[in-house]
Amino acid sequence: MSDRLAEYRGRRDLDASGEPGGRARGARGGPRFVIQKHAASTLHYDLRLEVGGTLRSWAVPKGPSTDPRERRLAIQTEDHPLEYADFEGVIPEGHYGAGAVIVWDAGALENRSRHDGAEISLEDALERGHATVWLEGEKISGGYSLTRMRRSDSGDQWLLAKVDDERADARRNPVSTQQESVLSGRRVEDLEPGDR
Ligand code: MN
């Protein structure tokens, strides 16, 4: 169990919220990413990247763009357990992050980070404040960069940008045109309290 999940557990009553506790690890292939659409008090998209046994997480208010010119603010939040990548449901009123969560996109994650011309681990890249990943989701794919702009007690501020590669497409806008969960086909509006 990782200390990196202490903040996650400290914020939550996991029995009441129905969210995973981070104790089980199933059979897995390579690293994964997930983007969860979260209708909390403020709607946002939670980008989570599997790094070293937990999901590094950022809240992206506008969601990811497929247009390299559109950089999106991404506020780093506490690491989440790996099983959180499959979580859909409604976090009850009165609990941290109350509101509906769906798995908006998910897929394989490949580190493409470099420093001074050499490959570096994703963990090192994030520590240094600039990482590049290749995502293979159903809606989001290709290269994305994360660059830390400002450290903050309420969550470091990063910019999420599409790399200008063959998967870039300024005409697509999947945040508005593809709103359904890739797991269940549901939209956040479809979920009701008690749903899983
Ligand atoms: Mn969230």
**DSSP per-residue string spanning 116-157:** TTEE--HHHHHHHTEEEEEEE-SS-EEEEEEEEEE--TT--E
C-alpha of residue 60 to centroid of ligand 1, in Å: 9
**pLDDT in the model for residue 20:** 86
What does the pLDDT look like over 142-171, one tens digit per residue? Answer: 999 999 999 999 999 999 999 999 999 999
Report pTM.
Answer: 0.92
Q: Which residues pair with 136 in a beta bridge?
A: 108, 141
* Residue range 95-103: mean pLDDT, rounded: 95
114's tokens: 């470099």
Six token digits for residue 140: 């989001």
Q: Which residues place a Cβ less than 5 A from the ion ligand 1?
A: 38, 46
Cα(160) to centroid of ligand 1, in Å?
Answer: 16
Average pLDDT over residues 3-18: 88
What confidence category does residue 195 fall into, taking pLDDT thresholds of 50, 70 and 90? Answer: confident
Question: Which residue type is seen at 84?
Answer: Y
